[in-house]
Structure 1
Amino acid sequence: MKLAVIIASVREGRYGPTIARWFAERTVAHGGFDVDIIDLADFELPLALPAVAPMMDPQGPRPASIAALGERLAAADAFVIVTPDYNRAYPASLKAAIDWFVTEWDAKTIGFVGYSGASGGILAIEGLRQVFNELNAHTVREYVSFPRYYLLFEDGELIEPAGPNAEAATMLDRLHWWSTALTAARGVAVG
């Protein structure tokens, strides 16, 4: 199974790559997935959609700047979104990445790792659950949250890793179960 860990924030000084690296290490230790870290900062994501939105034409043309992103999303069996909480929501870069693709998310499993000041990214996660539900993706109940993340890490390492490591392992177990079931189900035609 292939798990794509998506770094949602693209702004300068972001902490997402550090948290994504931590989660990727947990995934390798879990052993149930091959990991692909996708950093949205590596792609020129247009914020404006074409006149015929991808939702209306899922196989329609995409800008060349995001072709490689689409291929990597399509190759994934499951996703973990590493997202901050900006003003009670997720970053615009993530919404653009979601909106440019349709079939790449369809009937796949999604988990979340949130981080921010007080909420730990939970407000962003709750909004994303609604968006992915509309795209026929299954979000798992379990998540990892880092409220006041800037106090929890030192030199890129968790100061007290036991709790978050256990939460990550539980979420990975659930992601693996659901992604195995949905991979099999995607092979069955819906009448």
Structure 2
Amino acid sequence: MIRIAIVLGSTRPGRLGKPVADWVQSRASERGDAAFEVLDVADFDLPLLDEPLPPSLGRYSLAHTKAWSEAVDGFDGYIFVTGEYNHSIPGALKNAVDYLYKEWNNKAAGFVSYGSSGGIRAVEHFRGVAAELQMADVRAQVALPLATEFVHYRAFVPTEAAEQNLQILFDQVVAWAGALKTLRPDHAHRKDDASAA
């Protein structure tokens, strides 16, 4: 089955991203076409990137990097839940993404964002980062403006439009995640093994 991680990118106390990620997970659990799991960047306590070698080499030396790599690697696609900080994504999320390379390659990426403008500027920035990491970002996006999706700018109550947009995002991420599996070496090896049996 296709496996999709819902990556919660904010580590800030009182973060608005937690109820958003919980909503995404709740709606995802109603589907039968993929398995969804929340990956909370805050759970990994990643310091500022401290590996001595570039992530593209895949030669990790530190326990926290290895744990993060193992957590990320098993998924076929990602839905990133991100706030908008100064027209970009939270520093903790960028740091977490920068730790790895091959783990992201040839996988689907979708975005659920929130902020004063729905987080759309953060996602536009993030799309360039995703492309460099060989993630295929889907067109659909769920943008959640603080003024319309959060009561008094704090309590998350998604509108019907947000609910509909989330389903479109799910459809695209799951479809692309399935298609991209054929490009990854692990899938090719399994196929060769099966044909040789």
**Is TM (by shorter chain) over 0.5?**
yes
Q: Which portions of structure 1, spanning 4 or more consecutive aligned residues, are displaced by more than 6 angstroms?
A: none
Secondary structure at the aligned position of 1:104 is classed as coil
In the alignment, the residues of structure 1 paired with residue 101 and residue 49 of structure 2 have an alpha-carbon distance, to the nearest angstrom, of: 16
The whole-number CA distance in structure 1 between the counterparts of 2:11 and 2:36 is 20
TM-score relative to the length of structure 1: 0.89
Percent of aligned pairs sharing the same letter: 32
Does residue 23 (structure 1) correspond to residue 21 (structure 2)? The answer is: no
Out of 115, 126, 129, the residue aligned to residue 128 of structure 1 is 126
The one of 157, 169, 173 equivalent to 2:167 is 169
5+ residue gaps in structure 2? 190-197
Is 1:40 the equivalent of 2:41? yes
Taking structure 1 as reference, are residues 128 and 184 closer, same or farther at Cα in structure 2, changes over 3 Å only? same
Q: How far is 1:101 from its partner?
A: 0.6
Cα RMSD between the aligned structures? 1.8
**In the alignment, residue 123 of structure 1 is paired with which amino acid?**
R
| 1:147 has 2:145 as partner | yes
The answer to which of 80-89 and 91-100 deviates more is 91-100
Say whether the 8 Å CA contact 2:106–2:180 is kept in structure 1.
yes
Deviation digits for residues 159-179 of structure 1, max 9, x if unmatched? 53x211110111111111101
Gaps of 5+ in 1: none
In structure 2, relative to structure 1, the CA distance for the partners of 1:62 and 1:23 (3 Å cut) is farther
Query: Matches of 1:91 and 1:125 in 2, distance apart?
Result: 11
- How many pairs does the alignment contain? 184
Equivalent position of 2:112 in the other structure: 113
Q: Provide the rounded CA distance (Å) in 2 between the counterparts of 1:62 and 1:42.
A: 19
Kept in 2: contact 1:30–1:172 (CA 8 A): no
Matched residues in 2 for 1:87 and 1:15: separation? 16
Deviation at 1:49, TM superposition (A): 3.5
* Aligned residue number for residue 6 of structure 1: 7
Match of 2:87 in 1: 88
Question: Larger C-alpha radius of gyration, 1 or 2?
Answer: 2
Q: Following the alignment from structure 2 to structure 1, what is the Cα–Cα distance between the partners of residues 163 and 31?
A: 10
Residues 62 and 19 (structure 1), Cα distance of their counterparts in 2 relative to 1, 3 Å cut: farther
CA separation of 1:48 and 1:180: change in aligned 2, threshold 3 A: closer
1:120 aligned counterpart, secondary structure: coil
